[in-house]
Structure formats: structure tokens, C-alpha cells
Amino acid sequence: MTDSPAPAPAPAGVSTQLIEATVATAEDIAELLRSNPDATARIPGAAWSAGEAAAHLALANLLMADLARGAARPYGDGTPGGLAAANEESLAAYPEREPTVLADEIVRHTREFAQALVGRSAEEPVVTPLGPMDLGTLTCYLLTHQLGHGYDLARALKRPHMIDRRRVELSLPFLLTAMPRVADPAATAGRRASFAIGLRGGARFGVALADGVVTVSQDPPDRPDCTIITEPVTFFLMALGRCTPLQAISRGKILSWGRKPWLAPSFPGYFRAP
């Protein structure tokens, strides 16, 4: 990957590892775009081309940098549908599709984001497209968003993706914050169940459903209805809607047990990835 200046110092509470991973992911995406600058390549199973996905990343990274600088940037209505509509509107107003140009923009805005964190508290609140969170979680949001679209670009351009266990673990604070906000009301209505969710060999947390209300806890319940342990990259891809439970199960990437193990295949369907 390309050489770059060291990332800006992180504020108290935001790890240097997280900042470095976020900047490195932008650089990995830029390298993808420069190595195969085909803006018309289609993303499998998606409506966007590589050029459109790269343009969206450039716009989103600018938005995140603005948020880190303290700017108010309303974007959609906080729902997956509202975000999708805002994405299409912003793309229509931004015609740039040249991958090498967009590669530079993606990296530049990510470095601006890192610079904007200098001297700021990680606990400082910000309002994001998915609702309020703190600057530390916003950094995880930027990492997560880049990894998801970076994966799409890698598939479109037939290159290896940049998602690994370390980056998945760094993204977890955002994923746990976002889960209740992207719960599908129709899928969770009338459901009552408790889950212990874990990454294979790593972190575990709890999720409870109670008549449409989703609660996420840092610690799994003592007696969950269902325990689900997933290989980390597979967990991430399912969380972002890039992999189905059946695909993961068929590849041996998920284990489940408990009083109601049959709940495991339905779990990802309780959420709508933005």
C-alpha cells in the first residue's frame, strides 16, 4: 500500500490503533481504485458501479470530517430508507466518477477527519446520520462504513478485501450502538428472546428483543435463549448485509446452541443494514 504521513494524535479515549486502522483502510481503498481504475465495474448484487461507490465514499468521508470538526450536517432521517434516499440525492449532485481522483479524495477526507480529532474529547457528542453518538464511536462508524464499501469495491474490481479480525473488533462500538437504531420494526414486533452473541475467540455481548424494542448490552445474559458464535469477518459481513446466514452456516462460520438454537438463522433478519 502507499506510504503516508503518520496519523494525527488521537484524543483521550480514542485509541491510536483505531485512528491508524481508519486511515489505513482509506489508503487500502485508494490503492484498490488506483490498481484497477474501472469506474463502470459493477458491484455484485448491488445497484452501484465502482465509480458510484467510490464517489459515495468520498462524499461520506467529507461528511464525517465535517462532523468531527463540529459542523451540523443533516443527512436523511436516520432510517435505512432515509439514508438510502440521501445517498442517491448526494450522488446525483456530485458527478465525479474517476476512480483515481476519488481515491485521493477518500484519503484526504479521512486524514482531515483524523486531524479534526486533535485536542477533542472522545466523549464529545455529535449528531450523525444514525443519530447521536460520541466522537470515539463516530470514528468506529467511519471505519465500519469504509470497510463495507471497500469490500464491495474489492469484489467489483476483483481484488482482495481489507477486512480482518482486528478491524472488525475496532468497529464493534459502532455496530453495537447502531443495532437498536437499525432494527426492523416489522421483524421484531411481538418477538421476545435473549441472545449471547460472540466473535470466535473474541468479544461477546448480549441482545434482547422485547415486543419491537432491541436492547444491546456489553455483557451477554447469564441464560440466553440462543448463543451465536461467528467467525469475525463473517459476523461483520452479515451485520452489513453482505452475507446471508445460510451462506455463513453452509461454510461452517457459525455455531449456535442454547434453549432455542433454531433462533440463530433468523437473528440477522431483525435488522436492516443502512
Backbone angles phi, psi at 175, to 5 degrees: -60, -40
pLDDT given for residue 2 in this prediction? 45
Average pLDDT, consecutive stretches of 10 residues, N- to C-terminus, the chain (274 residues): 47 79 98 97 95 98 96 88 93 97 98 92 92 96 98 97 98 96 93 97 96 94 97 96 90 94 93 85
Domain ranges for the chain, please list them. 16-179, 184-270
Nearest to 128 by CA among 73, 182, 180, 175: 73
Reference 116, options 74, 66, 72; nearest CA is 66
Query: Is the Cβ–Cβ distance between 163 and 170 less than 8 Å?
Result: no
| Domain 184-270 fold | Nonspecific Lipid-transfer Protein; Chain A (3.30.1050)
- Length of the chain counted residue by residue: 274
What is the structure's pLDDT at 11? 42
pLDDT digits (tens, 9 = 90+) for 79-114: 888 999 999 999 999 999 999 999 999 999 999 999
CA 57 – CA 72 distance, rounded (Å):
19
C-alpha–C-alpha distance, residues 17 and 83, integer Å: 29
Q: What is the pLDDT of residue 143?
A: 98
CA distance 220 to 204: 6
Q: What is the largest CA-CA distance in the chain?
A: 53
pLDDT of residue 13: 58
Q: Which three cell numbers mark 108?
A: 484526504
- The Cα 17–Cα 14 span in angstroms is 8
Q: Would you say the pTM of this structure is higher than 0.85? A: yes
Domain 16-179 belongs to what topology?
Four Helix Bundle (Hemerythrin (Met), subunit A) (1.20.120)
Condensed to tens digits (0 to 9), the pLDDT of residues 134-173 reads 999 999 999 999 999 999 999 999 999 999 999 999 999 9
